[in-house]
């Protein structure tokens, strides 16, 4: 074998290796995008439920206008948020104000007995639950992508093709679901 052939073989192997790494990164990036879409769907779902909720509560508790304003403002903040970090922040703010709203509702027995209100409460709880699951899935995929981008030699390929680390969807909620350590 002459030196030229050897060099050629090495170059071909390197190119194949680079392609494999590149494809792996594309897969990870798509999973992150998919995870983000899941969060977005649930955030949108909650966004759509809120006007209905406010209308229902208003029917029984007209004087709590301060709470309504806060929820409406937080909801507007949600609409204006664009980046992951902003959305996470807006999400936390909205969760907080919704909790206040439900706490206020406790003082109105007629409201609590309202079928529509009960349904909305269940719907919102379920959506909150789904948001936390979607966040968990998203953050896990982001972790996988970020690790892949940071590690040698994948960081070289990632740098060449401009793969960027993604932002985590952070939460300040009390009941953070932490990943258990799994070992066999």
Partner 1 sequence: MFQAIAKNKFRTTMIVAMIFVFFAAIIYFISYFLLEMGNIAVVYGVLIAFIMSFGAYWNSHKIVLKMHKARPATPEQDAKLRNILEGLCIAAGTPVPALYVMEDPALNAFATGRNPNNAVICVTTGLLNNLDYYQLEGVVAHELAHIKNYDILLQTVAGIMIGAAIIASQMATRMMFWGGGRNRNSRNSKGGGAEIIIFAIGIIFIILAPIAGQLLKMSLSRNREFLADATAAEFTRNPEGLASALEAIGGSSIPLKNASNATEGMYIATPKSELGGRKSSNLFSTHPPINKRVEALRNLR
The answer to whether 3 and 142 are in contact (CB under 8 A) is no
CB of 178 to partner 1, least distance (A): 6
Please state the length of the chain.
184
Nearer to partner 1, 24 or 109 (CB): 24
CB of 140 to partner 1, least distance (A): 8
The smaller minimum CB distance to partner 1, of residues 60 and 170, is found at 170
Residues that bind partner 1 (CB under 8 A): 31, 34-35, 38, 42, 122, 126, 129-130, 133-134, 136-137, 177-182, 184
**Is the C-alpha dihedral spanning 18, 20, 21, 25 positive or negative?**
positive
Q: How far is the CB of 160 from partner 1 (least distance, A)?
A: 24
Give the nearer residue to partner 1 in terms of CB position, either 31 or 108. 31
User: Which residue lies nearer to partner 1 by CB, 73 or 122?
Assistant: 122
Q: How many CB atoms lie within 10 A of CB 101?
A: 20
Angle between the N-to-C axes of helices 115-150 and 84-105, in degrees from 0 to 180, rounded to the nearest 10: 160
Give the angle 39-171-99 at the CA atoms, nearest 5°.
90
């Amino acid at each position: 074998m002459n030196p030229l052939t050897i060099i050629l073989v090495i170059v071909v192997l390197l190119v194949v290796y680079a392609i494999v790494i590149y494809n792996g990164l594309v897969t990870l990036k798509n999973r992150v995008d998919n995870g983000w879409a899941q969060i977005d769907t649930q955030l949108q779902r909650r966004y759509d439920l809120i006007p209905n909720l406010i209308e229902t509560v208003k029917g029984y508790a007209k004087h709590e206008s301060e709470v309504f304003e806060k929820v409406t403002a937080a909801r507007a903040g949600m609409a204006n948020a664009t980046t992951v970090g902003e959305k996470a922040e807006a999400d936390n703010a909205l969760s907080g104000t919704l909790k206040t709203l439900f706490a206020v509702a406790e003082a109105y027995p007629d409201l609590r007995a309202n079928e529509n209100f009960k349904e909305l409460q269940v719907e919102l709880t379920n959506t909150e639950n789904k948001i936390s699951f979607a966040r968990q899935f998203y953050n896990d995929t982001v972790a996988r992508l970020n690790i892949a981008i940071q590690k040698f030699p994948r960081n070289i390929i990632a740098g060449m093709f401009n793969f960027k680390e993604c932002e985590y969807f952070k939460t300040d909620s009390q009941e953070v679901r932490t990943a258990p350590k799994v070992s066999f």
